[in-house]
A = this chain, B = another copy of it.
Amino acid sequence: MTPSSLQTIILNLQDFWAAHGCLIGQPYYTQVGAGTMNPATFLRVLGPEPWNVGYVEPSVRPDDGRYGENPNRFQQHTQFQVILKPDPGNPVELYIQSLEAIGIHPRLHDIRLVEDNWEQPAIAAWGLGWEIWLDGQEITQFTYFQQVGGQSLDPVAVEITYGLERILIALNNAASIWDEPWGADITYGQVRRQDEFEQSRYYFETADVIRLRQMYDLYKAEAEACLARGLVVPAHDYVLKCSHTFNVLDTRGAIGVTERQAFFGQMRDMARRVAETWLEQRKEQEYPLLKVTSSQVAGSQVRQDVQPANVQSANFVLEIGVEELPASDLDSALEQLRINVPKLLDDLHLEHGPIRVSGTPRRLAVMVENLAPRQPNRQDLVKGPPAERAFDQDGNPAPAAIGFAKKNGLDPSALEVRELDGGRYVFATVKQAGHPTPAVLVESLPGLVAGIKFDKSMRWLPSSGVTGNLSSVSFSRPLRWLVALWGSSVIPFEYAGLTAGRTTRGLRPYNAPEIDIPDADLYTEIIRKNDIVLDVEERKALIEKGVRELAASIKGQAILPPELLTEVANLVEKPMPFLGSFEEEFLSLPKDVLISVMKKHQRYFPVERQTSKADGTTSDVGRSTLLPYFVVVRNGDSEGLDLVRQGNEHVVRARFADANFFVREDLKHKLEDFRPRLGTLMFQKKLGSMLDKNERIEKLTEALIPMLGLEKDEALFARRAAHLLKADLVSKMVIEMTSLQGVMGGEYARRDGEAPAVADAIGEQYKPVPGTRPGLAVALADRLDSLAGLFAAGLAPSGTKDPFGLRRAAIGVVQTLIEHGINFDLRLALQSAAALEPVPVTDEVQAQVLEFITGRLRVVLTDMGYKYDVVDAVLAVQSENPAGAARAVRQLTAWVARADWGTLLPGYARCVRILRSAPAAGDRAMNVNESLLVEPAERGLHDALQSSAVHHPTSVDEFLTTVVTLIPAINTFFDKVLVMAEDSAVKENRLRLLQRIASLADGIADLSRLEGF
């Protein structure tokens, strides 16, 4: 077979899409990260006009540069971009046909649609769709655009973005792009490899940060000038230049976390204004491309009348055919149907047998046994107006009654008067004849489908179509067919431009043939005969069995986390597990990296040595040993499996090579050597660079060490960890996979020969709760610095906005302290942090931060299951020491649960309450004058107090144990003694006595906040 060439693929795709009615366009004349930025997409998807286009886009992503060393990762790759607007109804099928046009036959490969919620904040755009995988390799991005430039799209546009290099590699079953043909006997490498090397050197090493920042500013100013004159395309050009320049700065590592937000905000704002201006223009021009097209008609059919059908019960099946659902949406949809279907049938008064709900990514199936042929006839009693208004003095019906009777289709004489809630009303008994099941379902099934809700749902239909207003139709992914059969009869309900019938579709790898279901009874059998495993649990079981067997076959055991198993089961209709392998040399990579790539990126099951404990979790895999294997689950059968395996292995190899590249590059330096470069990474404009932050963390750690009571060597470790804490942020591996921040720092520290405790402290800094005390110290310092600094910079979270994760930081602070059980004075610690910030952190700001942390503490404690009032009672007095507060809450909760709480609390409460109701006539905190204690009961109380074991309790337990001993005396006191004596000296003295009791709670809890106080 002649190998494919890049240019043949391009020429074929151009021909294919031209033949399918697309305009063929050209790449854009300024560097873009994706074909989406080309105005042929960015602008043309806006507004009501149809637009179908295909074009090549060499896409430039500086931080993907690998010096030409990686087999399929490069700073420039070649996209083929297709836009179909409106949705033609079968875009996935068209796409698969286009793959066939370039030689990819679905039967011989594993083509998978993997959920991808695409978002491009720089242009205020998002959409839902998939990565399309070919044998584990992402070859295409397929998206239903929902918003672009901040504008909701109507109609929605389908974007198909092919990654041509990856397709070429797959077609030629190659290990690397470099030796594959471009065309004319010239390889891809001969055309592009030197470029890759040079551009990588430019983007990573050479680009001048100061000059690029100036360029960005100039571009932004030009964009603004163009916008001010309504010049859409020139403005857009400059927004694109901003975007590319930002990407270069980012690749140079010159963009800090908070600065990034500012850049995105600016670019998004410009993009939105570009989009708005374009839309206004098109409107003024009366949408030149808007013609009545027939494409919207495609989905609609002639409405069928409901046939008279069975008079006996019959099985019912509903299949909702959909483009590949995200794994979690499939779960959620099935769950909803399991609740909603019985409820619906009950509401409809339709009798039925067992209900089963199953599904795959492409179909949601509801199977109801023995669904009754019709609703039973029913009588409903309907309440009308009050009796006195319903009849006149002669007992004749008044207008109110006449109207009510008419509304219910009755003669007024049929109305009755009944009593209800102490009033007398007119009632009508309305008889409802039961309707036949088909008629009922035709009306109600649309609501069933519409009632399925998703966290993220999308539109794909134009808001107004031939079949009426469709603007309310949304779903997780587009609905493409509906099967509704009651026995052998079709229930032809309509929804989303579709009419239900009896035709379902087969497996994608089998070319998704149309399959007719003659009768609901045959549904399950036919589906199974077509190789589809309808039941989620069955798929899971098949996968688990297969994965375990395959792992065992190479003397390993699979890492089988349940959430991965669930996800994979939801990605296929027919699971087919198989084994893949990779080069042993990659095992030298940090294990976190390997597992992260296999699990997270590829949805593979990693395999480890059998010796280690396999509990199905990854919690302690960090210490076990991986084998160079993994298990993939294909959608389909074993046809062409070798090709599929090779494809998947190639992907893993490329990804590991990529990681290898980063780690190797990073290991050329000690972790400490990275530290100075933190100076180029902005943390936040007012708060300086990451280096500044790191230095503040060091100083703050120093201050926290005594506060946390660290031992001498713990202190040494903490100091060293603080010094190196953020260095990994400028390492290549972390720049590439941000999720490995900290982890890589720890790894590199270990490899540098730092003390294990130092490496651990660095490695766990981003964990919610660091496990070691040095780790606790540096993590606290980091978080308190962020809180103090960012609040002072005016960047406190507001509403749903929390771009800097300050809520998470605050929660981390309190959780850590609670779990380590260390008493800690947050107020004091914040003062230390505040003193180190480069901006003034006023007392007021510090108070805000404390209040904010208290709020998180409240959430943490209630999330732990403690009652709100208990939490409140404690936090009212000791919010600034989370560990203490947690202890107090725990103790108080136990007290509240005690049998004698019902006497304990009221006794104490009486002391407190009377103090509150009596106007203060002096200082009640003064000592009790024993000579004024005249009544025995008050003497008794005083004595009890004096003899109690603890006079200044420091915990809830101490406090309440004391109170318990006082309760008899308290009760006697209130029985026998009139506190409010006429002699005001006596009265005040008694109040002072009670004050001493009330004050036992000082600094521990405010019991008045408790229920029943």
Chain A residues proximal to chain B, CB less than 8 Å: 7, 10-11, 14-15, 18, 21-32, 52-53, 56, 58, 60, 76, 78, 182-184, 186, 190-191, 194-195, 198-199, 201-202, 205-208, 211, 214-215, 218, 221-222, 225-226, 229, 231-234, 281, 285, 288-289
A199 surroundings in chain B (CB, below 8 A): 231, 233-234
Are A24's CB and B183's CB within 8 A?
yes
Are B11's CB and A29's CB within 8 A?
no
A32 surroundings in chain B (CB, below 8 A): 29
Q: In the complex where A206-B225, A221-B208 touch, is A184 in contact with B281 (Cβ < 8 A)?
A: no
Q: In the complex where A23-B182, A234-B202 touch, is A190 in contact with B289 (Cβ < 8 A)?
A: yes
Q: In the complex where A7-B24, A52-B184, A234-B198 touch, is A58 in contact with B78 (Cβ < 8 A)?
A: no
A183 surroundings in chain B (CB, below 8 A): 18, 22-24
A225 surroundings in chain B (CB, below 8 A): 206, 208
Extra contacts besides A29-B30, A206-B231, A211-B222 (13): CB < 8 Å: A11-B15, A18-B184, A23-B183, A23-B186, A26-B58, A29-B31, A30-B31, A53-B184, A194-B232, A194-B281, A198-B234, A202-B226, A206-B225
Q: In the complex where A11-B14, A60-B29 touch, is A229 in contact with B201 (Cβ < 8 A)?
A: yes
In the complex, residue of chain B having the shortest beta-carbon distance to the beta carbon of A39: B195
Assembly CA distance A211 to B53 (angstroms): 35
Assembly CA distance A28 to B78 (angstroms): 12
A11 surroundings in chain B (CB, below 8 A): 11, 14-15, 18, 24
Assembly CA distance A221 to B211 (angstroms): 8
Question: Which of B23, B30, B201, B202 has a CB less than 8 Å from the CB of A30?
Answer: B30
Least CB distance, A275 to chain B, in whole angstroms: 15
**What are some 22 contacts across the A-B interface (CB < 8 A)?**
A11-B11, A11-B18, A11-B24, A21-B184, A24-B183, A26-B78, A29-B31, A29-B32, A29-B58, A29-B60, A29-B76, A52-B184, A53-B184, A198-B231, A199-B231, A202-B231, A202-B234, A206-B226, A206-B229, A206-B234, A211-B222, A215-B215
A15 surroundings in chain B (CB, below 8 A): 11
A58 surroundings in chain B (CB, below 8 A): 26, 29
In the complex, residue of chain B having the shortest beta-carbon distance to the beta carbon of A59: B29
Assembly CA distance A289 to B184 (angstroms): 12
Least CB distance, A23 to chain B, in whole angstroms: 4
Question: Which of B18, B23, B281 has a CB less than 8 Å from the CB of A191?
Answer: B23
Q: In the complex where A208-B222, A221-B208 touch, is A28 in contact with B26 (Cβ < 8 A)?
A: no
In the complex, residue of chain B having the shortest beta-carbon distance to the beta carbon of A192: B233
A182 surroundings in chain B (CB, below 8 A): 23
A289 surroundings in chain B (CB, below 8 A): 186, 190
Assembly CA distance A272 to B783 (angstroms): 54
A30 surroundings in chain B (CB, below 8 A): 29-31
Assembly CA distance A582 to B749 (angstroms): 81
Assembly CA distance A18 to B8 (angstroms): 9
Are B52's CB and A23's CB within 8 A?
no
Least CB distance, A440 to chain B, in whole angstroms: 46
Least CB distance, A252 to chain B, in whole angstroms: 12
Are A233's CB and B195's CB within 8 A?
yes
A27 surroundings in chain B (CB, below 8 A): 26-27, 29
Assembly CA distance A183 to B53 (angstroms): 10
Are B233's CB and A198's CB within 8 A?
yes
Least CB distance, A75 to chain B, in whole angstroms: 11
List the 8 shortest-distance A-B pairs measured between CB atoms, nearest first.
Answer: A202-B234, A7-B24, A23-B184, A198-B231, A23-B183, A211-B218, A29-B31, A27-B27
Question: Which of B28, B198, B288 has a CB less than 8 Å from the CB of A190?
Answer: B288
A21 surroundings in chain B (CB, below 8 A): 184
In the complex, residue of chain B having the shortest beta-carbon distance to the beta carbon of A24: B7
A281 surroundings in chain B (CB, below 8 A): 194
A29, A52, A214 — most chain B CB neighbours (10 Å): A29
Assembly CA distance A5 to B207 (angstroms): 42
A226 surroundings in chain B (CB, below 8 A): 202, 206
A208 surroundings in chain B (CB, below 8 A): 221-222, 225
Are A198's CB and B232's CB within 8 A?
yes
A78, A202, A226 — most chain B CB neighbours (10 Å): A202
In the complex, residue of chain B having the shortest beta-carbon distance to the beta carbon of A10: B24
A233 surroundings in chain B (CB, below 8 A): 194-195, 198-199
Assembly CA distance A56 to B53 (angstroms): 17
Assembly CA distance A18 to B199 (angstroms): 28
Are B184's CB and A207's CB within 8 A?
no
Assembly CA distance A191 to B234 (angstroms): 15
A190 surroundings in chain B (CB, below 8 A): 288-289
A14, A21, A24, A221 — most chain B CB neighbours (10 Å): A24
Are A222's CB and B207's CB within 8 A?
yes
In the complex, residue of chain B having the shortest beta-carbon distance to the beta carbon of A289: B190
A52 surroundings in chain B (CB, below 8 A): 184
Assembly CA distance A31 to B195 (angstroms): 18
Least CB distance, A229 to chain B, in whole angstroms: 6
